[in-house]
Copies of this chain bind each other. A is one copy, B any other.
Amino acid sequence: MSNIKEELIQEIAPDVARIDQAMRDDLEVTTLGYDPLLMEVLHYGIFNGGKRLRPLLVLLAARLAGSVEKGKTEEELLQLAIAFEYLHGATLYHDDVIDQADLRRGKPSVVKQFGEIAAILGGDFLHSRSMYIIGSVAGSKALDIFCKATNAMVDGEFLQLRNARNYNLSESDYFAAVRGKTALLIAATCEIGAIAGGASDAGRQALTAYGLALGTAFQVVDDLLDYQGDAAITGKAVGNDFKEGKMTLPVILALHNAGEQESVRLLSLLRDTASEGEGFEEAYALIEKYDGFSASRKKAESIVREALSGLDMFTDEDALTLRTVLQTLAEYVLIRKK
């Protein structure tokens, strides 16, 4: 773990620094003359130790696609990259209002710190800025991809509303929800990066598939961390999904393997959990007993492996280094602790 992480950090550090600087510069210009409280709310939510996964993927995909004549300038690529971090920020602002979450990455969430008006409108501001950048830098095709991803996120949440307390949720229902909730947007980072880099159709498809797989794996690991994470490291409470009675992959896969009696027991623990999450340990033990955690992790690994093999098509000189970074990133997503 720590080796992979250190190697990756070293490789991506210059890009992360450029992304952060680009956001500082852009926010400075964009909020010029606006109320200082707005700037404070944006800075607080954006510069809080995020992993910058989405903007990094834009840059990496664009470079791997790598047609200098057809592609955008470095500055334009950076703008597209930060648009995705803004959108990600906007969704976190709004999610924390919806979930009434007090903590985000170990600090008070924006809504907790500044209140609901600031969280909703700060999110709207970031959303608007992100779409402006995509539309003006990458044009209407990119805006279409971007909107389809954000619409799918909204749809995913509505689906989740409908699925809440639906204890017949199948594995494919789960993956459909994950696609909308997380994976399509990460796929969009790679697809828009690929387009901006001047990719061929095949190159664009391979990168989009990689993004979709990485995003799916990311969410599966998120759902694992919700059971197995260490709150001191993840910066958010453990057991939320259980408290809400959510049918995530570890539960669904454990139910596949458990006999009727223990399936009924696991479901009743989920169904009857009060807001304090009584029964978490018993549920955890049942999921573990029936390989729910290990089988979920294996699914995530195999999804990522397949998508990585699709990147073999990029064969020129620089591609090898970039493919290694994307591979390391995928490995990191699988073993991350936060």
Residues of B within 8 A of A162 (CB): 35, 37
Residues of B within 8 A of A158 (CB): 34-35, 37-38, 41, 118, 121
Of the candidates B94, B117, B129, B131, the one whose C-beta lies within 8 Å of that of A120 is: B94
Complex Cα–Cα for A257 and B143 (A) = 53
Residue contact A144 to B136, C-beta cutoff 8 Å: yes
A189 at interface by CB-CB < 8 Å = no
A124 at interface by CB-CB < 8 Å = yes
Residue contact B121 to A94, C-beta cutoff 8 Å: yes
Complex Cα–Cα for A18 and B144 (A) = 25
A159 at interface by CB-CB < 8 Å = yes
Residue contact B98 to A117, C-beta cutoff 8 Å: yes
Residue contact A161 to B37, C-beta cutoff 8 Å: yes
Of the candidates B98, B131, B143, the one whose C-beta lies within 8 Å of that of A116 is: B98
A155 at interface by CB-CB < 8 Å = yes
Residue contact B117 to A132, C-beta cutoff 8 Å: no
Chain A residues with a Cβ closer than 8 Å to the other chain, count: 38
Residue contact A35 to B135, C-beta cutoff 8 Å: no
Interface pick from A146-154, A213-221, A325-333: A146-154
Residues of B within 8 A of A150 (CB): 124-125, 128
User: Nearest Cβ distance between residue A184 and chain B, in whole angstroms?
Assistant: 13
Residues of B within 8 A of A122 (CB): 154
For this chain, the copies found in one complex come to 2
Residue contact B151 to A140, C-beta cutoff 8 Å: no
Complex Cα–Cα for A121 and B154 (A) = 6
Complex Cα–Cα for A247 and B34 (A) = 21
Q: A117-B98, A158-B118 are in contact. Are A135 and B124 (CB under 8 A)?
A: no
User: Nearest Cβ distance between residue A302 and chain B, in whole angstroms?
Assistant: 27
A15 at interface by CB-CB < 8 Å = no
Residue contact B147 to A140, C-beta cutoff 8 Å: no
User: Nearest Cβ distance between residue A134 and chain B, in whole angstroms?
Assistant: 8
Q: In chain A between 139 and 185, which residues have their CB closer than 8 angstroms to a CB of chain B?
A: 140, 143-144, 147, 150-151, 154-155, 157-159, 161-162
A127 at interface by CB-CB < 8 Å = yes
A97 at interface by CB-CB < 8 Å = yes
Of the candidates B117, B125, B140, B161, the one whose C-beta lies within 8 Å of that of A135 is: B140
Which residues from chain A sit less than 8 Å from chain B, CB to CB?
30, 34-35, 37-38, 41, 94, 97-98, 116-118, 120-122, 124-125, 127-129, 131-132, 134-136, 140, 143-144, 147, 150-151, 154-155, 157-159, 161-162
A-B contact pairs, 24 of them (CB 8 A): A34-B151, A35-B161, A35-B162, A37-B161, A38-B155, A97-B97, A98-B116, A98-B117, A117-B157, A118-B158, A120-B120, A124-B154, A125-B150, A125-B151, A125-B154, A128-B151, A128-B154, A129-B151, A131-B147, A134-B135, A135-B135, A135-B140, A135-B143, A136-B140
Given contacts A34-B155, A135-B143, A136-B140, 12 further A-B pairs with CB under 8 A are: A34-B158, A35-B159, A37-B161, A97-B116, A118-B161, A125-B151, A128-B147, A132-B135, A132-B143, A132-B144, A135-B136, A136-B144
